[in-house]
């Protein structure tokens, strides 16, 4: 086909691109070589090869070389390199080689860490890539926006981001927010009408949609004329796929702490070196020693480790179906204290089935399960009934005013589109009404699409010379526009008593957890007056069972000190019933109308008592977030529509729905639920808490080790004994500690009580009294025990190199024992001590390395070691092991006397 109608879009040959806005829809179809049902999959593939992906620029990868080179920008690495050169030039060749090897290890470690973090961020970018809805061979498909090609027919819905420049082929109340392109903030109405052939400015091309703009309302379809860099958007700017990796508050905080500790360490190092020189130590030796000590005690890896931990958290969250787009979100997730969640689909399964109907004043029960169109209609006595004219007319209205489609594939019945509509279509199919047949008999000519604010939808149809409007929606919204009702095939007046009766039944059904919709019709209608003076046809009550896993997640929230709140457009009683079924705490149910009557002050005062907000519109969500935030809570808020975006942005963590959410909501949110499931939010919070807990473990261990080294060195200087370690030994200790064991702590498995603690106060720093006590006591003990060992060895007449070597081994071993202790700041180390397989492997490997450099004579000169005898190994290991009972005692005191040593919760 393209041979006949070679698409002209994008071809280099067409110097002046066609004025698409001046062509008729048929002309556009012809020129881009496509048709109403879209391209075939083969044509699409061929065009993708021909025109390339619909992207503005190839994804820029940070090259491995770049990352490697960046390692050498680190000041400490540079100092060490300088030290290598100085050692080499002054005849200390062996030392130079050892330091060079240590630098190499440090660089490789830094490189591997950063490389992995970068790759996971890139993977994130790819996963967060937008999608587009297209027709291919008449079938609606959702594809990555990058695969859209010229000639594709794209379907546009409220909240979509337009994937490419396209000519509108159909529009229902369609309006686009083109501010990204034109700066104009009011939405622009779109129609398929051809325009004059002039060169119109973009803002006036009302039959074109442009890549990067947003569907503000309505729905429509358009045929793509140009993609990628050839779009208007591509011409003016680059669309950046935003996965921000800017510093998080925690990173900034740690950066500050790191700098502060660095300065303090530098002062201590200068003092030790100064004292040494004053006592007459050789200048070069003190210079090398000073550098080594500085490198060892400055926690230079801190910010990088935070990034890595956050990135690891992101990966673990994706495995649990939560896609996080920004690193600060991972951090904020760990502090969430309130989750404001939608009901339908998030807390419930979104598998609707019509159970009850009120038609022509009679109650009807519908049987059957799921979307399978098999079931019976039973009368009030539970006897099967013939489908009356009233039931038929009501279901016809339901089908015609719906967009969803019922399909059978892979041995199952599925709904494409909104499950609420799906339930109505299935009920109609049970009564023998086929939606495709009906749609062909009564073609739709116009519509007022559904929106959460209007809570209803109305369509206009051409039925044998007459225009009839059909509508469905929330009962109060639809009934407000009804003047009559259909009973036994006749239109009769609908008085206040009738309305009260209908509402009474709605309340009864809602109290059982059913979602209730009303159906209506208007004959001889025009779109302008379609929603006034309608005839009420029926109420339909549909069941949407709560998700089993949501019930458990609510329970977890309870123990984790997190308050779940339901915010729904549904009926208050339906919402209350779902809340009760999920085991949520009882509290106030507030409707949108009541909320409106409340001042911000009143709301902030009573917000913690309210568990359900019903019949609210998305704009109310902003006030609810605000009220919680004023109380100091950290709020997560879910949303799927265009109007949810402001609340998603305002919440600490905005959460979009991966399946039903609009592009707008996904872009505004920090996290997307790939399975739209409430339980996933709770899982992500657990991962967020884990990330923070592990950063604390890492940090505690690292600092406690540094304190131990400083106490040992400073202690020796003050006690006027020789320095207990050589420069190379200090560097080795630093690498053995800061390297693998510390990293293994950053991936420690969760402690069982992670979700049994109150949420962390985001303003409280990382150093809680419990952690600080452990750091200080652990550091002091390590420093003193090693200093004691060193001085005792010297007193007992051991040669200095041997005393140094034994102290070195004892120091390294004590750090390994300490690593296990820092797996928790309150639990005993004896509780599942070897659960962290990474730590076991890291320590195992380091012990083997230590044994080699101590026992193998080839390393003796370089590391200043000598082969230890068995009793000596036993001695240093036993001394090192004393750190365990000491830290255990601290933890025991903290657990049993929390008042003395303040507990870690804020």
Catalytic residue annotation: 342
- Local structure of residue 384 (DSSP, 8 states): B
Please report how close the Cβ of residue 611 comes to ligand ATP at its closest, in angstroms. Answer: 14
In Å, how far from its chain's centre is CA 228? 27
> By rule CB under 6 A, what string of x and - marks binding of each residue 697-736 to ligand ATP?
----------------------------------------
Tokens 């690193």 appear where? 327
Q: Looking at beta carbons only, is 617 or 877 nearer to ligand ATP? A: 617
- The per-residue b/e assignment along 809-826, b for 16 or more CB within 10 angstroms, e otherwise, is bbbbbbbbbbbbbbbbbb
Which residue has its beta carbon closest to ligand ATP? 569
Cα–Cα distance measured from residue 336 to residue 689, given in angstroms and rounded to the nearest whole number: 9
Residues 591-610 that bind ligand ATP (CB under 6 A): none
Please report how close the Cβ of residue 550 comes to ligand ATP at its closest, in angstroms. Answer: 12
Q: Counting Cβ atoms within 10 Å, is residue 236 exposed (0-12), middle (13-18) or buried (19+)? A: exposed
Q: Decide if residue 421 touches ligand ATP (CB under 6 A).
A: yes
Residue 657's H or E segment, with its range, is strand 653-657
Residues 359-398 that bind ligand ATP (CB under 6 A): none
Residues 234-263 that bind ligand ATP (CB under 6 A): none
Tokens 């429509």 appear where? 220
> What is the token pair recorded at 523?
């004959």
Residue 171 · residue 215 · CB < 8 Å: no
The window from 413-421, 532-540, 550-558, 735-743 that contacts ligand ATP (CB under 6 A) reads 413-421
Cα–Cα distance measured from residue 126 to residue 243, given in angstroms and rounded to the nearest whole number: 10
Which of 136, 435, 455, 522 is close enough to bind ligand ATP by CB under 6 A? 455
Please report how close the Cβ of residue 459 comes to ligand ATP at its closest, in angstroms. Answer: 10
Which of 450, 509, 692, 817 is close enough to bind ligand ATP by CB under 6 A? 450
Cα–Cα distance measured from residue 1 to residue 117, given in angstroms and rounded to the nearest whole number: 47
Q: Decide if residue 38 touches ligand ATP (CB under 6 A).
A: no
- Between the alpha carbon of residue 605 and those of residues 609, 627, 852, the distances in Å are 9, 8, 66
> What is the token pair recorded at 705?
């080790």
Q: Decide if residue 677 touches ligand ATP (CB under 6 A).
A: no
Cα–Cα distance measured from residue 529 to residue 533, given in angstroms and rounded to the nearest whole number: 8
Cα–Cα distance measured from residue 133 to residue 163, given in angstroms and rounded to the nearest whole number: 9
Please report how close the Cβ of residue 400 comes to ligand ATP at its closest, in angstroms. Answer: 12
Q: Where are the alpha helices (DSSP H) in 320-381?
A: 327-333
Q: Looking at beta carbons only, is 205 or 435 nearer to ligand ATP? A: 435
Tokens 């959410």 appear where? 661
Q: Looking at beta carbons only, is 661 or 778 nearer to ligand ATP? A: 661
Please report how close the Cβ of residue 386 comes to ligand ATP at its closest, in angstroms. Answer: 28
> What is the token pair recorded at 16?
């002046």
Q: Looking at beta carbons only, is 55 or 447 nearer to ligand ATP? A: 447
Please report how close the Cβ of residue 516 comes to ligand ATP at its closest, in angstroms. Answer: 7
Q: How many residues belong to the site for ligand ATP (CB under 6 A)?
A: 19
Q: Looking at beta carbons only, is 458 or 815 nearer to ligand ATP? A: 458
The window from 19-27, 152-160, 451-459, 600-608 that contacts ligand ATP (CB under 6 A) reads 451-459
Please report how close the Cβ of residue 477 comes to ligand ATP at its closest, in angstroms. Answer: 7
Q: Looking at beta carbons only, is 177 or 421 nearer to ligand ATP? A: 421
Q: Looking at beta carbons only, is 281 or 659 nearer to ligand ATP? A: 659
Q: Looking at beta carbons only, is 276 or 471 nearer to ligand ATP? A: 471
Residues 328-347 that bind ligand ATP (CB under 6 A): 342-344
Q: Looking at beta carbons only, is 344 or 865 nearer to ligand ATP? A: 344
Q: Which one, of 189, 208, 299, 236, lies nearest residue 737 by Cα?
A: 299
Q: Looking at beta carbons only, is 664 or 740 nearer to ligand ATP? A: 664
Which of 481, 569, 762, 864 is close enough to bind ligand ATP by CB under 6 A? 569
Q: Kindly report the CA angle at 184 between 182 and 190, in degrees rounded to 5?
A: 85
Please report how close the Cβ of residue 385 comes to ligand ATP at its closest, in angstroms. Answer: 26
Task: Tally the residues of the chain.
Answer: 906
Backbone Cα Rg of the chain: 35
Which residues are within 8 A (CB) of 562 and not within 5 positions of it... i.e. 6 or more apart? 336, 337, 338, 339, 682, 685, 759
- DSSP string covering 362-399, please? EEEEE---TT-----EE-TTS-B----HHHHHHHHHHH
Residue 805 · residue 865 · CB < 8 Å: yes
Please report how close the Cβ of residue 421 comes to ligand ATP at its closest, in angstroms. Answer: 5
Q: Decide if residue 420 touches ligand ATP (CB under 6 A).
A: yes
Coil, strand or helix at 627? helix
Could you tell me where the beta strands, DSSP code E, fall in 333-455?
338-341, 353-359, 362-366, 377-378, 405-409, 412-416, 444-448
Please report how close the Cβ of residue 568 comes to ligand ATP at its closest, in angstroms. Answer: 3
Q: Which one, of 505, 510, 517, lies nearest residue 474 by Cα?
A: 517
364 backbone dihedrals φ, ψ, rounded to 5°: -130, 135
Please report how close the Cβ of residue 656 comes to ligand ATP at its closest, in angstroms. Answer: 13
Residue 450 · residue 473 · CB < 8 Å: yes
Which of 169, 226, 452, 486 is close enough to bind ligand ATP by CB under 6 A? 452
Q: Which one, of 521, 523, 518, lies nearest residue 506 by Cα?
A: 518
Cα–Cα distance measured from residue 194 to residue 192, given in angstroms and rounded to the nearest whole number: 6
Residues 500-559 that bind ligand ATP (CB under 6 A): 515, 517
Q: Looking at beta carbons only, is 503 or 827 nearer to ligand ATP? A: 503
Coil, strand or helix at 40? coil
Residue 316's H or E segment, with its range, is helix 302-319
Residues 466-505 that bind ligand ATP (CB under 6 A): 472-474
Q: Looking at beta carbons only, is 393 or 418 nearer to ligand ATP? A: 418
Please report how close the Cβ of residue 265 comes to ligand ATP at its closest, in angstroms. Answer: 54
Q: Decide if residue 178 touches ligand ATP (CB under 6 A).
A: no
Tokens 């083109």 appear where? 178
Residues 805-864 that bind ligand ATP (CB under 6 A): none
Please report how close the Cβ of residue 602 comes to ligand ATP at its closest, in angstroms. Answer: 23
Cα–Cα distance measured from residue 702 to residue 739, given in angstroms and rounded to the nearest whole number: 10
- DSSP string covering 59-88, please? PPPPPHHHHHHHHTT-HHHHHHHHHHHHHH
Which of 459, 486, 563, 568 is close enough to bind ligand ATP by CB under 6 A? 568
Which of 114, 158, 506, 570 is close enough to bind ligand ATP by CB under 6 A? 570
Q: Looking at beta carbons only, is 151 or 546 nearer to ligand ATP? A: 546
The window from 158-166, 408-416, 426-434, 447-455 that contacts ligand ATP (CB under 6 A) reads 447-455
Residues 642-661 that bind ligand ATP (CB under 6 A): none
Q: Decide if residue 457 touches ligand ATP (CB under 6 A).
A: yes
Q: Decide if residue 564 touches ligand ATP (CB under 6 A).
A: no
Q: Decide if residue 418 touches ligand ATP (CB under 6 A).
A: yes
Query: Under the rule (CB under 6 A), what is the footprint of ligand ATP?
Result: 342-344, 418, 420-421, 450, 452, 455-457, 472-474, 515, 517, 568-570
């Amino acid at each position: 086909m393209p041979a006949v109608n070679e698409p002209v879009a994008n071809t280099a040959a067409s110097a002046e691109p066609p004025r698409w806005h001046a062509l008729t829809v048929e002309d556009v179809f012809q020129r881009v070589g496509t048709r109403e049902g879209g391209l075939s999959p083969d044509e699409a593939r061929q065009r993708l090869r021909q025109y390339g992906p619909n992207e503005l620029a190839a994804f820029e990868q940070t090259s491995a070389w770049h990352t490697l080179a960046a390692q050498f920008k680190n000041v400490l690495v540079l100092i060490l390199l300088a030290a290598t050169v100085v050692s080499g030039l002054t005849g200390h060749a062996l030392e130079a080689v050892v330091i060079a090897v240590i630098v190499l290890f440090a660089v490789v470690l830094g490189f591997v860490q950063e490389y992995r973090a970068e790759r996971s961020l890139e993977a994130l970018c790819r996963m967060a890539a937008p999608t587009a809805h297209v027709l291919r061979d008449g079938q609606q498909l959702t594809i990555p926006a990058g695969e859209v090609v010229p000639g594709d027919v794209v379907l546009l819905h409220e909240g979509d981001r337009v994937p490419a420049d396209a000519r509108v082929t159909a529009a229902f109340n369609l309006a686009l927010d083109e501010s990204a392109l034109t700066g104009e903030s009011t939405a622009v109405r779109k129609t398929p009408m051809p325009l004059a052939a002039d060169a119109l400015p973009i803002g006036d091309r009302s039959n074109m949609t442009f890549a990067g703009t947003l569907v503000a309302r309505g729905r429509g379809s358009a045929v793509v004329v140009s993609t990628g860099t050839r779009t208007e958007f591509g011409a003016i700017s680059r669309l950046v796929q935003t996965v921000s990796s800017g510093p998080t508050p925690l990173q900034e905080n740690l950066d500050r702490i790191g700098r502060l500790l660095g300065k303090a360490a530098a002062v201590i190092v200068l003092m030790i070196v100064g004292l040494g020189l004053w006592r007459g130590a050789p200048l070069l030796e003190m210079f090398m020693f000073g550098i080594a000590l500085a490198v060892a005690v400055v926690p230079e890896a801190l910010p990088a480790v935070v990034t890595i931990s956050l990135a690891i958290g992101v990966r673990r969250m994706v495995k649990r179906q939560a896609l996080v787009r920004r690193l600060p979100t991972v951090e904020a997730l760990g502090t969430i204290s309130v989750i404001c969640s939608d009901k339908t689909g998030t807390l419930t399964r979104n598998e609707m089935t019509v159970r009850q109907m009120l038609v022509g004043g009679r109650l009807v029960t519908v049987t059957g399960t799921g979307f399978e169109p098999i079931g019976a209609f039973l009368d009030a006595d539970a006897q099967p009934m013939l489908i009356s004219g009233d039931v038929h007319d009501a279901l016809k209205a339901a089908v015609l005013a719906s967009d969803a489609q019922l399909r059978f594939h892979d041995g199952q019945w599925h709904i494409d589109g909104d499950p609420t509509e799906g339930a109505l279509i299935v009920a109609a199919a049970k009564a023998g009404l086929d939606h495709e047949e009906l749609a062909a008999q009564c073609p739709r000519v116009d519509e007022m699409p559904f929106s959460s604010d209007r809570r209803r939808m109305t369509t206009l149809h051409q039925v044998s010379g007459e225009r009839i409007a059909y509508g469905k929606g929330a009962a109060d919204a639809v009934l407000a526009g009804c003047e009559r009702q259909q009973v036994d095939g006749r239109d009769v007046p609908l008085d206040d008593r009738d309305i009260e009766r209908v509402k009474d039944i709605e309340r009864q059904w809602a109290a059982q957890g059913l979602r209730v919709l009303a159906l209506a019709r208007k004959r001889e209608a025009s779109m302008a007056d379609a929603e006034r003076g309608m005839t009420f046809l029926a109420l339909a009550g549909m069941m949407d069972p709560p998700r089993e896993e949501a019930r458990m997640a609510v329970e977890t929230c309870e123990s984790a000190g997190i308050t779940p709140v339901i915010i729904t457009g549904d009926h208050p009683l339906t919402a209350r019933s779902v809340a009760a079924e999920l085991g949520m705490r009882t509290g106030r149910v507030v409707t949108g109308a009541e909320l409106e009557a409340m001042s911000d002050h009143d709301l902030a005062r009573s917000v913690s008592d309210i568990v359900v907000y019903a019949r609210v519109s998305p704009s109310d969500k902003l006030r609810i977030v605000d009220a919680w935030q004023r109380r100091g809570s950290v709020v997560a808020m879910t949303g799927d529509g265009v109007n949810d975006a402001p609340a998603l942005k305002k919440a600490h963590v905005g959460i979009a729905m991966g399946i039903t959410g609009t592009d707008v909501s996904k872009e505004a949110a920090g996290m997307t639920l790939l399975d739209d499931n409430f339980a996933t939010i709770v899982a992500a919070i657990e991962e967020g808490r884990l990330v923070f807990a592990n950063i604390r473990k890492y940090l505690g261990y690292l600092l406690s080790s540094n304190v131990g080294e400083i106490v040992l060195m400073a202690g020796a200087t003050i006690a006027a004994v020789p320095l207990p370690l050589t420069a190379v030994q200090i560097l080795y200790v630093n690498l053995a500690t800061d390297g693998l064991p510390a990293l293994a702590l950053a991936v420690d498995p969760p402690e069982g009580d992670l979700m049994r603690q109150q949420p962390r106060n985001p303003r409280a720093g990382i150093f809680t009294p419990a952690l600080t006590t452990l750091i200080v006591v652990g550091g002091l003990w390590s420093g003193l025990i090693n200093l004691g060992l060193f001085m005792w060895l010297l007193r007992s007449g051991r040669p200095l190199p041997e005393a140094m070597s034994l102290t070195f081994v004892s120091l390294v071993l004590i750090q390994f024992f300490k690593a296990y202790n820092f797996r928790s700041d309150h639990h005993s180390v004896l509780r599942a001590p070897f659960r962290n397989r990474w730590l076991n492997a890291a320590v195992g490997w380091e012990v083997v390395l230590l044994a080699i450099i101590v026992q193998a004579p080839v390393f003796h000169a370089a590391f200043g070691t000598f082969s230890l005898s068995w009793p000596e190994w036993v001695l240093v290991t036993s001394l090192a092991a004393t750190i365990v009972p000491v830290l255990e005692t601290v933890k025991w005191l903290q657990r049993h006397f929390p008042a003395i040593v303040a507990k870690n919760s804020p």
